Amino acid sequence: MPIYQPGVTTETYSPDQLVAGDFPRATRSVTLITGQNLPRGAVLGKITASGKYTLSLSASSDGSQAPSAILVDACDASGGDQTIGIFETGEFLGSALTLGTGHTLASVRDALRDVSIFIR
């Protein structure tokens, strides 16, 4: 029978399997543009004119069509721009990534490899 103590809590850790290897991960803070609610592991592109990030869509023509980063934590920017963390390098599991319309793992793999993000 477990012993309960006042003020002691427990949490369950459920790994999401996003990180897939030992390749060094580099992160930094950037701005996610308004109008998005994205999960951890979303593949992002950088808008050339503003320098802000958005979900990379293959049909975009503002620079963000080129995948360049992975979202560290889920973020709701539906009410305004948000400061977020991105992975700039690392090794990640493809099945844990969220891809924008028109992208497949095959279509983002080479672009991400060029920025030292590797997909398994």
Q: Is the pLDDT reported for residue 54 higher than 90?
A: yes
Q: Is residue 99 part of a domain?
A: yes
Which residues constitute the domain of residue 115? 26-119
Q: DSSP letter string over 37-89?
A: EE-TTBEEEE-TTT--EEE--TT--SSTTSEEEEESS-EE-TTS-EEEEEEEE
Q: What CATH number corresponds to the domain at position 43?
A: 2.40.300.10
* Spatial distance between the Cα atoms of 53 and 33, rounded to a whole number of angstroms: 6
Q: Is residue 3 part of a domain?
A: no
Q: Is the pLDDT reported for residue 53 higher than 90?
A: yes
Q: Is residue 49 part of a domain?
A: yes
Query: What residue type is assigned to position 22 of the chain?
Result: D
Q: How confident is the model at residue 21 (pLDDT cuts 50, 70, 90)?
A: confident
Q: Region 24-46: what's the mean pLDDT? A: 97
Q: Rounded to whole angstroms, what are the CA distances from 59 to 11, 102, 111?
A: 42, 7, 15
Q: Is residue 2 part of a domain?
A: no
**pTM above 0.95?**
no
At 93-105, the pLDDT tens digits run 999 999 999 999 9
Number of domains within the chain: 1
Q: Is residue 5 part of a domain?
A: no
What residues contact residue 5 under an 8 Å CB cut-off, 6+ apart?
Answer: none
